[in-house]
């Protein structure tokens, strides 16, 4: 929408404040990326709206995905954090995926892959690691294993979800708000709770041809 149309719709004062806050967000995003981040992510036309710190020695690749939303909860006060800690650690976020504000994604010694066209709500957490050993002697020794996390294409994750190490979330699944996911999730199912459990199945796109052709064509337009 053009500036004149926006002023007509929202009034001058609201439009001006909106613009100012957006610029403030862009400045914060620049500071987080250029001055706070030691990792150089591979950003293939990614849209980084939320100020995001990129950390670690590994590889972070974001392909035509979007991190953060304005206006949306947590934009003004929050930030995002992506860390591929070890040299062989990998974070991949595939095209047309949107992650809302306040996310933390850490690949410690293995990988986190997020598929295409996923919609992920605010305050998302995912890690491939417990970061500390379980036995008291190993709490700070670095002697612990990591397991890759994989989130399939077309997954919808509600607000405040945590995805723990080794989990595979199948294509098209829904994860309810506030869930903690500790075991694999079947494709095309709705799941919720702590720990997340299956509530019911969803139709697969081929069961509903109209949905298969129209769904998720434009995640740019999707508001979380
Ligand atoms: C998971 C969700 C999609 C389920 O919706 P639904 O299919 O309409 O499910 P219902 O409301 O009929 O609830 C079914 C059961 O699941 C439970 N349930 C629903 N959402 C839950 C949640 N987030 N956590 C725990 N249990 C949940 C209900 O209590 C109900 O339990 P019961 O059968 O024992 O009574 C929805 O509750 C949800 O969490 N949506 C995500 C919203 C969100 O965060 N969007 C992004 C914001 S930007």
2 and 76 together in one domain: no
Q: Which tokens go with 177?
A: 């708000």
Same domain, yes or no: 82 and 8: no
With respect to residue 223, please indicate whether it lies within any of the assigned structural domains. Answer: no
What is the per-residue pLDDT for 22? 87
Which pLDDT band, with edges at 50, 70 and 90, does 71 fall under?
A: confident
What is the pLDDT at residue 70? 87
**Residues 135 and 75 reside in one and the same domain:** yes
Q: How far is the CA of 28 from the centre of ligand 1 (A)?
A: 34
Nearest protein CA to atom 48 of ligand 1, as residue? 224
Please give the pLDDT value at position 72.
87
214 or 38: which carries more pLDDT confidence? 38
pTM of the model: 0.91
Give the integer Cα–Cα distance in Å for 120 and 50. 14
Domain ranges, residue 15: 1-35
Give, using CA atoms, the residue closest to atom 1 of ligand 1: 176
* pLDDT recorded at residue 206: 80
Q: Which of 63, 190, 188, 177 is nearest to 116 (CA)?
A: 63
How far is the C-alpha of 200 from the C-alpha of 187, rounded, in Å?
Answer: 11
Q: Are residues 13 and 71 in the same domain?
A: no
2 φ/ψ angles, rounded to the nearest 5 degrees: -75, 165
The mean of the pLDDT values for the chain is: 92
Please give the tally of structural domains in the chain: 2
Is 140 a residue whose pLDDT tops 90?
yes
SS3 26: helix
Residue 132 is predicted with a pLDDT of 97
Looking at the structure, tell me whether residues 111 and 204 fall in a common domain.
yes
Which residues does a 6 A CB cutoff place in the pocket of ligand 1?
A: 100, 121-122, 158-159, 174, 176-179, 190, 192-193, 199, 224
Q: How many CA atoms lie within 13 A of 87 on its CB side?
A: 0
Count CB neighbours of 168 within 10 A: 19
């Amino acid at each position: 929408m053009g500036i004149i149309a926006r002023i007509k719709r929202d009034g001058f004062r609201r439009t001006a404040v909106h613009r100012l806050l957006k610029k403030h967000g862009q400045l914060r995003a620049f500071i987080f990326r250029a001055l706070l981040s030691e990792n150089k992510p591979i950003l293939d036309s990614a849209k980084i709206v939320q100020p995001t710190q990129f950390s670690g020695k590994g590889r972070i690749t974001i392909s035509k995905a979007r991190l953060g939303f304005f206006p949306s909860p947590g934009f003004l006060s929050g930030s995002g954090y992506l860390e591929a800690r070890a040299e062989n650690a990998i974070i991949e976020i595939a095209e047309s995926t949107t992650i809302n504000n306040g996310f933390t994604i850490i690949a410690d010694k293995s990988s986190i892959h997020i598929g295409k066209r996923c919609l992920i709500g605010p305050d998302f957490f995912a890690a491939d690691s417990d970061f500390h050993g379980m036995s008291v002697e190993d709490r700070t020794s670095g002697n612990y294993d990591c397991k890759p996390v994989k989130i399939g294409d077309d997954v919808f994750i509600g607000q405040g979800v945590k995805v723990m190490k080794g989990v595979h979330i199948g294509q098209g699944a829904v994860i309810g708000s506030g869930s903690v996911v500790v075991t694999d999730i079947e494709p095309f199912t709705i799941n919720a709770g702590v720990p997340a459990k299956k509530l019911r199945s969803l139709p697969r796109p081929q069961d509903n041809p109209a949905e298969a052709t129209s769904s998720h064509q434009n995640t740019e337009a999707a508001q979380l």
